[in-house]
Structure 1
Amino acid sequence: MSDLNKQKIVDSVPQTGFFGHPKGLLTLFFTEFWERFSYYGMRAILVFYMYYEVSQGGLGLDQPTALAIMSIYGSLVYMSGIIGGWLADRIFGSSKAIFYGGIFIMLGHIVLAFPGNLAMFFVSMVLIVLGTGLLKPNVTTVVGDIYSENDNRRDAGFSIFYMGINLGGFLAPLIVGKAMDTSFHLGFGIAAVGMFIGLVVFVVTKKKYLGLAGTTVPNPLTPSEKKKTYTIFGLSAAVITAFVALGIPMGFLTFDVFIALVGVFGILTPTIYFFIMYRSPKTTAVERSRIIAYIPLFIASVMFWAIQEQGATILAVYADQRANLEFLGFTISPAWFQSLNPLFIILLAPVFAWVWVKIGDRQPTVPVKFSLGLLFAGLSFLVILVPGYLNGAESLVNPLWLVLSYFIVVLGELCLSPVGLSATTKLAPAAFSAQTMSLWFLTNAAAQGINAQIVKFYTPATEMVYFGVIGGTAIVLSIILFLFAPKIQGYMKGIK
């Protein structure tokens, strides 16, 4: 997309009207709020639904399998963003991708809302994976579209948008977690309603507030490319179908093999994408330099999310089985701990946004912010091993240790995640704008693909080693990134 077309899109959006930001931020804020309400509400109870006994309303899976499925599911959700980004960039634009994605997500939650078997559970997962892949990277891309490249409100705007994500993430576990006491399916039904409201908000307000943002196709397929692409898609679908149809009965496509494949694809897919974008004739010399700068940021983000995403797996089990849930006269639902991360972001995101604007050009560079994010992530895991060291693996832990761990990782998240979203929109080659945002979400996919391999090593007996090794690795990587930050900044070619 040319700079002229980018400016035309910006000019079509009312540039004030939502806390000093473009009015379109309101539409995107509340669309993503409700989408995240539905997603995080479902996710807060999903691991419990999988490993609770059938007599308790669950599926009765063994705990290691439930943890691995949770990680693989999270990986596929973010991996599917590549498909959603490609469809938006090449076929129908970001706005339509957001709408279609919301429909799929809502249908997936509706399937979960009705009692069913394991097969229906996997049908719902497929729908939600496809829907999130369409919606999530594209709604974030449109946030970037409503600001000009040099608008100093961008980082603050992404922080406000990020606060909307986490407001939905805060409320959902509290409401859905309470509904879990009645029925898991009631909780999933509430998630479906949330996505429906998000769709209504988007459809009703997008024309007036978003203008041309999300309506263009940055790099449309030529007629010859369409024929080639559809042929590749058709052949790929046939090969995958045959592989699954033959692999399961013959025994070579087992659950462990599937986990390994997702992990491999989680790493291989972004590697291929970096290569394609770098070698593309549509990528300029400056854009190639920025791609080089983006690679270490990508790696750092994978390490960060490998820790942060265990809040819905390892720390969820820790809350359910290791924490003392009778606290100050109240019985705490283990699902409620999922609200801690977004609660702290809601409280601190405006502070971070204000600080970045206040210090302006004196603020740390993007690589330095990423190194701080990794440092806090590592510390959050070192903190959670302390009660085990003090009291042993058999005694119940004061839940305030979990609260502290979530608080520390949020400090890291606010240094890395909204900054990463903003940097991605600025470092992305013009011909790959939505796809580069999908690449950013692949950091989460790769992280959770790796997590699916390592969560099986967690037990109360290995608790200290587990948290210590992962936390220590993150701290070492943060120091390395800090030392190389000036070099990385140079490759960013003026992007701050």
Structure 2
Amino acid sequence: MASSLTKASATPGTPGSEKTFFGHPRGLATLFMTEMWERFSYYGMRALLPLYLVAPGGLHMNAGTASAIYAVYLSLVYLLALPGGWVADRFLGPRKTVAAAGLVIMLGHLCLALPAAATFFLGLGLVAIGSGLLKANISTMVGHLYNGPQDPRRDGGFTIFYIGINLGAFAAPLVIGTVGEKVDWHLGFALAALGMALGLAQFLLGSRHLSDKSSLVPTPLSAQEKASSLRKGLFWLAVAAVFYGVVGFTGHFTLNWALIPLTIIGLIVPIMVIARMLRDKDLDRTEKSKVRAYIWFFVAAAVFWMIYDQGGSTLSLFADSSAENSVLGWEFPVSWYQSVNPVLIMALAPVFAWLWLWLNRRGKEPSTIVKFASGLVLVGASFFLFLAPLSIAEGGHKAAAMWLVAIYFVQTVGELTLSPVGLSVTTKMAPKKYASQMMGVWFLAVTAGDSVTALLSNPAVGGVNLDRMGFVALEAVLAVVAGGAVWMYRRKVNSLMGDVR
């Protein structure tokens, strides 16, 4: 597929200069296809995960436990992006790290394909580890293909790469979801493994077209640092092994011995990372002021992702039990709802890009703060909209599929208002010392939001069913109030941001 989309290069001297991929370095085709297949495997498995956890033919759990597992899994994927970046920067380099990540993800999906609970949770852990390793590094490798930040093709290259992400995410529920729900759950997970295998093969075969920078270890560990890191790693691994060994041998182990500590870690780590920056004496007053301003955006993003990511759990489980999943009499698998967001992203992202430019030329483009506030209000509005199908279901009827499509539509508009702006403001407000690490901090907002969801839904800590009308209304109000607070305090945040707008 990659070779059929290439033509003679008009810009020699760049990586893969003998061919181009839509006018971009040939290596972009390799990374495009790798990420597309990785996202195919990831989103296909994710679409099946909550449904398999509650299904009588699956693990037959209650909805609260299933939602907690789903939320903890998502939080881990984003939390592990931080050590994933460290592995590449200090140990393996991006290219080897991505290759290792692909192998780990594939093995994880193969474990999911085995009909045993123990291997299932091992598989979830492996997919989370591999996704964290890959997420932190493959985008960096896209940047390596270009001649610095000023290369005029750079933004277009990332746009094409983003299309690959959404193509994989769109196709995955339609293929993997259908096979998993209608044929066999474990065959669906096996298809996810096949998707990652194709992505890994594409990466290994096309790696010769990547930039040489992708093979470099930017700040390699010294021999002393390697020995120290190994000792620390083995020590904490031994502590965990002894602790869980004792719990297991005494017959006290339950799933919550893993879920609750991971949930707490997902809440504590973001606080520790931001606090460390604020205490860092190497940062000047202006940089610390920007970090304090960034806390507003971080908390707002955490609230947003807490609600948004329930599209794959709370909404999916509601659709499974209480929705009429058909259009004009044609029934479709529940997992297909997870294709709505990526197809809307592909349709609406160019519209939003044009809209911001059009408003900017007229001096009317909303500020970053206003965009964030709008995203929060929209995600809150999506859950106010959710109250309608919940009310229909409480009346003993099945809610129409279009109610759920409408909720996903509003959430996607909110995502396009907040997420790209969040990525941009993260790079603008990052202290020089933490320029690379700050993107990991942005991912930690997802970790924090999903950890809150896990805590709220876990029955072991008094969790609630997240599809109760009162709780959905409470979350909707929280998001709208948070959006209002960001807007009300916009002048204070602006003053902390300094020259960033």
> Which residue of structure 1 aligns with residue 6 of structure 2?
none
> Which residue number corresponds to residue 121 of structure 1?
120
1:414 is aligned to 2:419: no
Structure 1 distance, partners of 2:90, 2:278, is 18
Aligned-pair CA distance for 1:416: 1.9
Calculate the TM-score normalised by the size of structure 2: 0.86
Q: Which of 27, 32, 40 lines up with 1:29 in the alignment?
A: 32
CA contact (8 A) 1:111 1:124 kept: yes
2:406 partner letter? L
Aligned pairs for 1:248-327 within 5 A: 248-250=248-250, 254-280=254-280, 287-327=287-327
- Of residues 402, 421, 436, the one that matches 2:438 is 436
How far apart are residue 207 of structure 1 and its match?
4.0
Partner-residue secondary structure (3-state), 2:183: coil
State whether structure 2 residue 246 is matched by structure 1 residue 243. no
Which residue number in structure 1 is paired with residue 10 of structure 2? none
**Aligned residue number for residue 472 of structure 1:** 477
* Paired residue secondary structure (1:364): coil
* Matching residue of 1:6: none
Structure 1 101/272 Cα, relative in aligned 2: closer, same or farther at 3 Å? same
Q: Which runs of 5+ in 1 are unaligned?
A: 1-10
User: CA, structure 1 residues 450+308, in 2 after alignment: closer, same or farther (shift >3 Å)?
Assistant: same
| Cα RMSD, aligned residues only | 3.0
Which structure 2 segments of 5+ residues have no match?
1-12
Match of 1:197 in 2: 198
Name 2:76's counterpart in structure 1: 76
Asked whether the 8 Å contact 2:40–2:171 carries over to 1, the reply is yes
What residue is the counterpart of 1:402 in the other structure? 404
CA shift for structure 1 position 285: 6.2
- Please list the CA deviations of residues 38-72 of structure 1 after superposition, one character each: whole Å capped at 9, or x if unmatched: 0000111112222211xx3x223333322221222
Residue 131 (structure 1) aligns with: 130
Query: In the TM superposition, what is the alpha-carbon distance from 1:239 to its structure 2 partner?
Result: 1.0
Cα deviation, 1:120-156, whole Å, max 9, x if unaligned, reads 1112112111101100122233445547456787766
- 1:268 Cα offset (Å): 1.1
Inter-CA distance 222–451: structure 2 relative to 1 (3 Å threshold): same
| Aligned pair partner of 1:483 in 477, 485, 488 | 488
Q: Which amino acid aligns with 1:79?
A: L
Matches within 5 A, 1:9-88: 25-53=28-56, 56=57, 58-88=58-88
Say whether the 8 Å CA contact 1:308–1:409 is kept in structure 2: yes
- TM-score normalised by L of structure 1: 0.87
- Superposition deviation, residue 371 in structure 1: 1.9
Mark the CA change 1:328 to 1:451 in structure 2 (over 3 Å): closer, same or farther: same
Farther-moved stretch of structure 1 (80-89 vs 449-458): 449-458
Counterpart position of 1:424: 426
Moved more, 484-493 or 301-310: 484-493
Q: Which amino acid aligns with 2:34?
A: T
1:216 Cα shift? Answer: 3.7
Give the AA of the match of 1:192: A
Shift of residue 442, structure 1, vs aligned partner: 1.9
Partner of 1:3: none
| Change in 2 beyond 3 A, CA 1:63/1:166 | same
- Asked if the contact 1:159/1:353 (under 8 Å) is kept, the reply is no
User: Would you say the 8 A contact 2:30–2:206 is kept in 1?
Assistant: yes
Percent identity between matched residues is 39
Equivalence for 1:371: 373
Map 1:146-157 to 2 at 5 A.
146=146, 148-149=148-149
Kept in 1, the 8 Å contact 2:322–2:393? The answer is no
Asked whether the 8 Å contact 2:63–2:465 carries over to 1, the reply is no
| Structure-1 residue corresponding to 2:449 | 447
| 1:382 aligned onto 2:384 | yes
Pair 491,137 (structure 1): closer, same or farther in 2 beyond 3 Å: farther
CA displacement at 1:492 relative to structure 2: 4.5
Report if the CA contact (8 A) 2:80-2:133 is conserved. Answer: yes
Greater length-normalized contact order (CA 8 Å, ≥ 6 residues apart): 1
Comparing 138-147 with 479-488, greater Cα deviation is found at 138-147
Which letter maps to 2:121?
A: F
CA distance in 1, matches of 2:138, 2:192: 19
Q: 1:158 touches 1:421 (CA, 8 Å); kept in 2?
A: no
Q: Counterpart amino acid of 2:194?
A: V
Q: Is the 8 A contact 2:15 2:211 kept in 1?
A: yes
Cα distance in 2 for residues equivalent to 1:34 and 1:434: 26
Give the Å deviation of 1:254.
4.0
Encode CA deviations 1:316-360: one digit per residue, 9 max, x unaligned: 111101101243120121111111111211111122233344555
Letter paired with 2:481? V
- From the superposition, tell whether residues 485 and 213 of structure 1 become closer, same or farther in structure 2 (CA, over 3 Å): farther
TM-aligned CA deviation for residue 262 of structure 1: 1.9
**Partner secondary structure for residue 343 of structure 2:** helix
* Deviation at residue 167 of structure 1 after TM alignment: 1.8
SS in structure 1 of the partner of residue 221 of structure 2: coil
In structure 2, how many angstroms separate the alpha carbons of the residues matched to 1:380 and 1:493? 33
Find the counterpart in structure 2 of residue 463 from structure 1.
Answer: 468
1:220 and 2:220 are equivalent in the alignment: yes
Change in Cα spacing, 1:360 to 1:227, as seen in structure 2 (3 Å) is farther
C-alpha change, 1:293 and 1:354, in structure 2 (3 Å) is same
2-side partners of 1:356 and 1:178: how far apart?
38
Q: CA deviation at 1:467?
A: 1.3
Task: Assess if the C-alpha contact under 8 Å between 1:85 and 1:437 holds in 2.
Answer: no
Worse overlay, 32-41 or 357-366: 357-366
Cα deviation, 1:396-425, whole Å, max 9, x if unaligned, reads 111111000000000011122233234434
- The count of residues paired between Structure 1 and Structure 2 equals 480
Aligned amino acid, residue 336 of structure 1: W
* Cα distance change, pair 223–485 in 1 and its aligned pair in 2 (3 A): farther
1:150-189 map, 5 Å = 158=158, 160-180=160-180, 181-189=182-190
Amino acid paired to 2:131: T
Contact 2:14 2:25 (8 Å CA) reproduced = no
Q: Which amino acid aligns with 2:380?
A: G
Question: What is the identity, as a one-letter code, of the residue corresponding to 1:123?
Answer: L
Contact 1:155 1:418 in 2 (8 A): no
Q: Secondary structure at the match of 2:437?
A: helix
